[in-house]
Every structure is written in C-alpha cells, then in structure tokens.
Chain A
Amino acid sequence: MIITKDIEKTVSTSEGDLCILKAINLSVSAGETIAIVGASGSGKSTLLGLMAGLDTPSHGTIQLGEYSITDLDEDQRAKVRAELVGFVFQSFQLLPSLTALENVMLPAEINGVANARGLAEKYLDRVGLTERVKHYPRQLSGGEQQRVAIARAFASQPKILFADEPTGNLDTNTGAHVIDLLFQLNREEGATLVLVTHEQRLAERCHRVIKLESGEIISDSKRAETVASESSQSTDSDSAIPASGVH
C-alpha cells in the first residue's frame, strides 16, 4: 500500500542544512497497522507527513496506493489524499467555528459526496457522540474532541489512516478508550493504519513497530518479535519505550 525508497528530508535552517530523514526504505501492506516510534526529534512526524503526501522528500520516491506521489504536484496529491487518506492528529485539529457534526461532514462536503450529513451522523453514532452533534469543540472534552476527529477521519472511508500521536493530549484512561475505538473502527473499515506514537502499549497493538533514531530506521519488527524483543530487553536493562505519552 505504501512503499518508500531511499527517501531523505533536509531542511534549511539559520545554522545550515539539517537532515531530518536519511535513506528511509519501508513497505506497508494493505490492512497492516504500523507504529512509528522514537524519541522527540527523531523524524517520526516528518516521515508521517511524507508518507501521507502532505510534504515532498528532498530525495527518493514514495508510492501511495497506485500513485507515485513524489511525481505529483500539490493539487494532484490533494486528490490522492481525498481518495485514499484519513488523518487523526494529536491536537485534534477540529475547526472551532464548526459543530461536531459539521466537522465530521467536512471531508464529504469537500469531495462533493452526497448525503454528507447522513454519513457524518452515522460515524458520530459509532463513536458514541450522537448526543453532542450540535456542540462546538470548546464544549467538548479532550477525549470527545478526539472521538469527533476519529469520526471525521473514517467518514471519508479512507484506505490508509495516518494518526500522529492520537493520545498525546489525553490522560491515560481517556487515551485507552480512544485507542480502543480507533483500532475497532480500523478493523471494521479494513484500512491500513500508520501510527506515530511515544506510547509502548499503543505500539504493541500494531502489527509492526518501526523505530526511528536521528532520522534513520534502526529497527523494524513485527508484533510477536516486538514482544519477545521487549521481554528480552527488560531482563537486560531498565531502558524501554516510555509507557506514557509524556513529551
């Protein structure tokens, strides 16, 4: 579903060029769930942005579905995103002047989908917010806002869902409920899930965990291997992926 080949990302700063990602090669199959983990500044969100077509690499190619998005301009990538991609963000990114219902309707309205309202109501119901459809984001708790964001992401029926620290702004309990909801919907919709996270328990729920350090992939392990690897590491040392999403 997603194939990256030798992608690099370099940005210009006042101190000179800064290489954020170096020679990233990975492949994600349809229906897979992968977690991208690493310390702050390791390049996780940058990699997510590139894979989702929100940005272009300085070098390399990215295949998203049947599209080679590195060959496309921004408008063409927007069309690809409309067709294939959904997003869930750490800061929810709900539009403050729109109600919960209107926020969820947005993707369908942008793409001219008929019955955007019906679709939005369905997904809000699925995330358990039928009673709050007319409320504005400022009237919702953090967890409720993230549930609205999840409903919006799935309302566009994406093939690939990108989530950037979806529980980063939530407490542990709320975060757990949100993650349960996210994975449940993802199973039901059959989408590929790419997740950026600090949280170990979140990463453990994915099929694969890709670890980044200083812009490079240092490990890419499947779930069973990850558990075995963590168990092995926990007997050797106390260092581990932090258990909570504290930055």
Chain B
Amino acid sequence: MFGLRLLWRDWRGGELGILSASIIVAVAIVTGISLFSTRLQQSIVAESSTFLAADKVLQSSRPVEEKWLERARDLGLEQAQVLNFQSMVFSGAEGLGEYVPESMQLAAIKAVSNAYPLLGEIEVSEQPFSVGKKTSEGPTAGTAWLDSRLFPLLNLQIGDKVQIGEALLIASRVIINEPDRAGGFSGFGPRILMNIADIPETEIIQPGSRVEYRYLFAGDGQSLKGFGDWLNPLLQPGHKWLGLKNIQPRISKSIDRAERFLLLAGALGVGLAGIAIALAARRYSERHFDYVAMMKSLGATSGRILSLYISNLLVLASAATLIGCFIGWTIQEGFIIILVDLFDVSTFPPISLRPFAIGGVTALVCLLAFALPPLIRLQGVSPLRVLRRDLGASTASDMFSYTMGVGGIGLLMLWYSESVVLTLAVLSGVGLTFVIVGCLAWYLLRGGSLVGMQAGSAWRLALASMRRRGIQNSVQAVIFSLSIMLLLMLALVRSSLIEEWQIQLPEGTPNHFLVNVAEHEVSAVDELLKANQLAKEHIYPMVRGRLIEVNRTSIKKRLSESSEDTQTDMDRGLNLSWATDIPADNIILDGQWWAADSTEAEMSIESGLAERLEVKVNDTLSFQIGSEKLSVTITSIRQLDWDSMRPNFYMMFPPGLLTQFPATYITSFYLPTEKKKFLNKFLREFPTITVIEMDSMITQIRSIISQVSQAIELVLALIIVSGILVLVASVQASLDSRFQESAILRTLGAGRKLVLGSLVIEFSSLGLLAGFLAAVSAELSVLGLQEFLLDMEFVFHPWVWVAGPIIGAILIGSAGYVTCRKVVNTPPVEVLREL
C-alpha cells in the first residue's frame, strides 16, 4: 500500500506524466500499426488471391488421382475444378429439328464446377460491351457465358444457342471478367465460361486432347500448408502447385515489399518508442535521487527501494498498456472510417489478439530494457546525498543501461519483424550512426563559441550554452539525428517503392493485345487505330519455331539435367520475331545489336533464357521452323521488361532471316474505358484477329498498388508521431537545468524575449546540425536497405540533403520552443525556492 501511495503521490506531483505518456504512445503506435497493417495485409493478400480464384491451385495436364482430392477434403479445404481448352464454337439456326451452324469461331473455353470461384467474384453483364455486375456463382448446366466480342463474331443475341462440341448451350450472359482470367491459356482468344457438368455432352475431351486441369483449393493457412507439404512429393512432371507468387509475380513482389516496409516501419516505431521511454525513465530516475537518499536516511534498504519502484513501474505499465491498446485500436478504427472510400473494409478480417499482445509485450520489454536500468541505478544512490547533493549514481550503471536498452530493442525488433537481417541492418545502422554522428556533433559543437562571440545577445547566449553543454548537446544531437534519420529513411524507402510501382504501370500503359494479325491486315489495323486516336506499340512479326540444338548438341540432351520448366517451355516452341532496331525498352547486356542491313545468321536472346539455357555470345542455336532447320549465332544478350505490356520476345533476328516463313503479327495498344465499344467495330472488320483484354487486370493491379501505397503513408504518419515524442522527451531531459539558468538570468535582469530567443536559437541550431547528420545517415542506410533487403536499385535523393536540415531546425526548434516556454513563464522566485 505504501508503494501505491508513493505512486499516487508521484503521479499527483506530475513526476510520471512523461514516462506514462511515453509508454502509452509507444503501445498505441505499436498496437495501432500492428492492428491496421495486419488487417490490411490480410485484406490485400485476400484480394490478391482472387487472381487465383482460390488460395492455391493444382495445375495438371491430366486428371489427378481422386485420393489427392479426398485428402484435401479431409483437411477441410474447399475445392473447385476448372478445365481450360480451346475449341471451335458455332452459332446457327434451328430448323426442321436440327441445329444448322452458320458461323464459327475458335474460343478459349473454361468449364467450371459449381463451387467456382472459391475466392473473388465473376463480373457479368446482360449485354455485350456494357457495365458488369458481380456474382459469386458460375453458369448453371445448360448455359454458357460468352465473351462480349463473340456476340458480333457469331452474330448472337443473349438467349440464343451456341454449339460447343456436340452440346447446345444457351448464351445466357456476357462474361466481362473472372478472377483467374490471366491464368492458363484462357487469356488467348475470346472466352466462354460453361458448367463442367456439360462437358460429357460436348464430347470434346477425348484421350490426347490438350486440356489444362486446374484444381482450386481454399482454406486456412495451416490446412493449405499441410496439404501442400503432403502433395509436393507426389507431384509428377506436368503437375504444378501454384500460389500467388507463381501466377502474379508482380503483385506478389509488391506485397512482399510492402510487408517488409511495414515491418520495417513497425520495428523503427519500436525503436523510437524505446528511446522515448529510456529518456523519460532516466529523467524520472534522476529526479528521484533525493527521494531515495531521504528514504535511505530514514531506514529504507536498497532492496526495499528497488521493490518499491519496480512494483510501481509494473502497475504504471499495466495501466499504460491498457490505455495504449485502447488508443491503438481507436487509431486503427479511425483510419478505417476515414478511408472507407479507399479500402474495402468488408474484406478486412476480424481483429485478432496478436496486435494487443504485441503492444503488451512491447511495453513490458521496453520497461525492462529502458525503464528498469535507470531505476536500478536508484538503489545505488548513497544516503549521504542528504548531506552532499553532488553524490549521484555511478557511471558504470550507465553502461549497463545502454546494454540493456540495445539488447531489449534488438529482441523486440526481431520478434516484431521476424527477420534477423532486418534487425541487424537497423541496429547496425543505428549503432554506426550513433558513433559517427556523436563524434561529428561533439567536434562541431566545440567550434561553436568562435562564431557566437560576434553575434547579438541571444545568439551569444545560445552558442555559449551549446558550448557549455557540449557533451549533453552532442548526445541530444545524436538522438535528434537518429529520430530524423529514421523518419527520412522511411520516407525515402516509401517514395522509392511507390515511384517504382508507378513507373511500372504508368497511365496510358497498353491494356489490349492484338494477336494473329495477318500480314495483309497490318496497314489496315494501323489505319483504324490511328483513325480512332489510339496509340499503339510497334507491330512485330511472329514466326513459330522450336529450339532443337545448342552448340550442335540436341536440346533434349542439354536440358536433361536442367529444370523441368525450361524443358516444358522449349517443348512448346517459341515465338520468334525480327526487327531492324532494338525494341525501345530492351537493353543490351552483352554483345552488339546488328546493323540495319545485316544479312548474317545471327540473333539476340533474352538474358533470363540465356541463363537458363547456359548460353552466351558466340554460341550457336539451331531452330526447327516448319520443315526447315536454321542455325544462328548469338551476337547479343538483352534485358527486357516482361511487365511493360509491350510485345516481348525471347529470340529476335535481323530482318531477312525469317521472312521466308509464314508469319502473323502482334502489337498492343491503350484503349480508354469510354472507348470500349470500339472493339465491336474492330472485330467486325477483323474477325480473325485475337484481341486480349488486359484492362481489368491492370486496373486490379493498380488498385492493389494504390492501397499498399496508402497503407505505407498512413504507417509513416504514425511513425512520425512516435518520432516527435522522442524529440519532445529529449528536449524535456534538459529542462531542469534550463529552468535553473533561466531563473538566475531573469533575476539578473535578462528579459523573457532574450532567454526564450536564446533557447529557440540553441534548439534550432541543434536541429539543423542533427538534420544534416540525419540526411547523411539516412541516405547511407537506405542504400543498404534497398540493395540487400528490398531488392531495389539505389537512387540518390538530393531533396533529403535540403529537407533534413530544414526539418531538423523546424521540428527541434518548435519542440524546444513549446517545451521551454514554461521555463520563461514560471516566476523566477518559484524556481529558486525549489533549488
């Protein structure tokens, strides 16, 4: 009870305000970030999983064993089945009890079971090329949903019959988009969605038919992992166990980076919180030296002192944790309410207890690592301090405090980020910064007095104070620069991430491909697109060929030990193209592009494929094109951007080498949403050209990237709050001595304006220095993070070198002004009386 009374008296006296506020804010930020980012990440992953229409997909070239599906059922996984194949479809008229086909079209057919889609929704409409609505159920048996362009191509209306194989199905709806549209070869050619129950009636699937079997699975992470672990050893060639990473590497990569960034932000938030608590606890401890000395002189033992303060700390921490968790939850709810138009909150999973546990454990570890060491110092205060106030605590215990602090924050970062690399990277960066910045700050601050002697009074006071508090100000400069550095680092990484994503998919990115364009149609297509003000990419010719030899060695022999994927890709054949000039976004990594009039048997290969085939410049490749064999020498290796939405080719040749082979042409163009009906006109004029619509997918990708960017900016805002807290706590640490000085100065005749002015100058100068040092450290740290953790190219950021010092001067100057106003507003007599 005495302990609680002491706690209450401390609280009443304002002794615990800063410490408890630090703990509350630390817990609130950590809990808020964790709550929000966990829910958002889960939501993003859930939305991204709709690209698969499931959590996982088993893809096969033949039906899989029933016992595999039974196993999945036993594990509680939901299942659906999809068949993808191509077939001619017919439209006609019924007469004399017979259906007479009149028009036909090659279509990509997707037959789905009733449970499809397991995730996401299908977008359908009642009329071709019109606005769709979402549904979570597929077509019923006896019906089919057709791609918009099939209606003009087959001269169909909604409700007419379409013949697929031997089956007659009613074209009941228009399919606009389905979740896993980009998977398999359903992306090529106009699509039809039908029920899998109608497949036997079609009689299309026979032994030897080229069908892609996809088995969709959805469920909790543990069951999926369990199934995957059981399944993987059983997979044969032709089987693939697919997740988001395989199907949408761009999304997967973006989410990976976002997760790492959020984890980094969380880890840094923990670090800043820890510093704030350490500063507040240290100040609390120093202000209690007299308390402890008095209590010891009255008979309190060291053990009693320690148990008193530790139990009080635990009570305080428990209360602060509860309040902090509540505020963290409020912050997270607040963000969701504010951003209801930007985030689909219905997809947010329910709150789990993990973020609150993280907040609680964070508070406990911070207290043990940062607050406890200064309090342990208290037990070492000599009772003789009641007679000699110069006696404090030993500096040896300072080293213990720092060691505990670094250890504690390292453990927290490791637990929170689950990444040893990230933790070590941040700790090393911070440690290095501390040493380098500390030395620099000390050196620069020592030289301040020379400048100050010539200035006006407030300047002279400020610079004299900086010189007098050389060590203390160096430590403060380090803390300030660390805080600013961490904030700059986050801003830099966030900017880089967002810029890179936006560069990858800028506005105006081609969103439709034209495939199978005949040679005689090229000019007409070009004219039609130009007439409709539609910008297109270069039209490339395409010849189908198969790689058969590398350096005169059969490809089968060469790839016998190579990866199965490479073998499969080579078996399928390649699209070969030719061009006079190197495509705009291709970069030569080795060798040289050919001259415009080259007639040599040479070619250029994409760098990734070159690596897989283990070939280099001057190696020879032989192709089977039709019945002819063509051998060429590799004269260059290219790097290209597969995500550019432009036609890209593994193999390219100089003009003249392949022109004797029949070729079709391919290009891509950008079609704005409001001009979608142009496709009707296009398909009527060019019924044999395949149009691949990528716009929905691009919109989806852009939406996910936008969400991730927003999340990052919100998290950054939370971290900034944490950083400001550290700054305020750090300024507070020097408050006591400033009170004393101000009281004496004003007693001697100095005006409030002079004293406050000198304080603002002192803090602003410190901030300027800290900001400059922070810019140096931030740029170096970001270099390390981007190169080794985020897998991004380093870019120099000139704005940091201007923003850092300015932000430092403004932030620290303002924090100093706000915090130290009390110093000049308190009557000197009150201060002197308490001395």
Contacts and interface: CB of A to CB of B under 8 A. Distances in A.
Interface stretch (B301-309, B410-418, B736-744, B775-783): B301-309
B296 A78 contact: yes
A110 B304 contact: yes
A201 interface: no
Interface string B349-385: 0000000000000000000000000000000001110
Nearest to A74: B302
A102 B9 contact: yes
Given A95-B291, A95-B294, A97-B12, A107 B299 contact: yes
B294 A54 contact: no
B10 interface: yes
A111 B386 contact: no
Contacts of A1: none
Contacts of B830: 138
B13 A96 contact: yes
A134 to B, nearest CB: 12
A111 B294 contact: no
B835 to A, nearest CB: 10
A75 B302 contact: yes
A93 B302 contact: no
Contacts of B382: 54-55
Contacts of B2: 109-110, 112
Nearest to A153: B298
- A interface residue count range (under 10 / 10 to 19 / 20 to 34 / 35 or more): 20 to 34
A147 interface: no
A39 interface: no
B297 interface: yes
B5 interface: yes
Contact of B298 (A49, A74, A96, A106): A106
Contacts of B13: 96-98
A209 B231 CA distance: 97
Nearest to A46: B387
Contacts of A156: 298-299
Given A54-B384, A55-B384, A164-B387, A75 B301 contact: yes
B833 interface: yes
Interface string A85-126: 101010001011110001000110111100000000000000
Contacts of A87: 297-298, 386
B10 A138 contact: no
Contact of B387 (A49, A82, A96, A97): A49
Contacts of B833: 138
Nearest to B308: A110
A93 B15 CA distance: 18
B294 A78 contact: no
A79 interface: yes
A74 B380 CA distance: 10
Interface in A156-206: 156, 164
A96 B294 contact: no
Given A54-B386, A106-B294, A138 B299 contact: no
B484 to A, nearest CB: 34
A81 B386 CA distance: 14
B295 A83 contact: no
A107 B296 CA distance: 10
A81 B297 CA distance: 7
B291 A93 contact: no
A112 B308 CA distance: 13
Specify which of B2, B294, B387, B833 lies most central, judged by the most chain A CB atoms within 10 Å of its CB. B387
Contacts of B180: none
A55 B384 CA distance: 6
B834 interface: yes
A109 B301 contact: no
Nearest to A116: B2
Given A48-B387, A106-B298, A164-B387, A98 B9 contact: yes
Interface in A1-59: 45, 48-49, 52, 54-55
Given A95-B294, A138-B830, A82 B384 contact: no
Contact of A89 (B12, B383, B387): B387
Given A81-B297, A81-B298, A95-B291, A109 B386 contact: no
Given A89-B386, A138-B830, A97 B299 contact: no
A83 B387 contact: no
Contacts of A52: 297
Interface string B1-30: 010010001101111000000000000000
Contacts of B10: 97
B272 to A, nearest CB: 29
Interface string B814-835: 0000000000000000100110
A110 B5 contact: no
A122 to B, nearest CB: 18
13 contacts: A49-B387, A54-B382, A54-B387, A55-B382, A78-B299, A81-B299, A82-B298, A89-B386, A97-B14, A97-B15, A110-B2, A111-B299, A138-B833
Closest 10 CB pairs of A and B: A82-B299, A97-B13, A75-B301, A107-B298, A54-B384, A109-B2, A54-B383, A78-B301, A110-B300, A55-B384
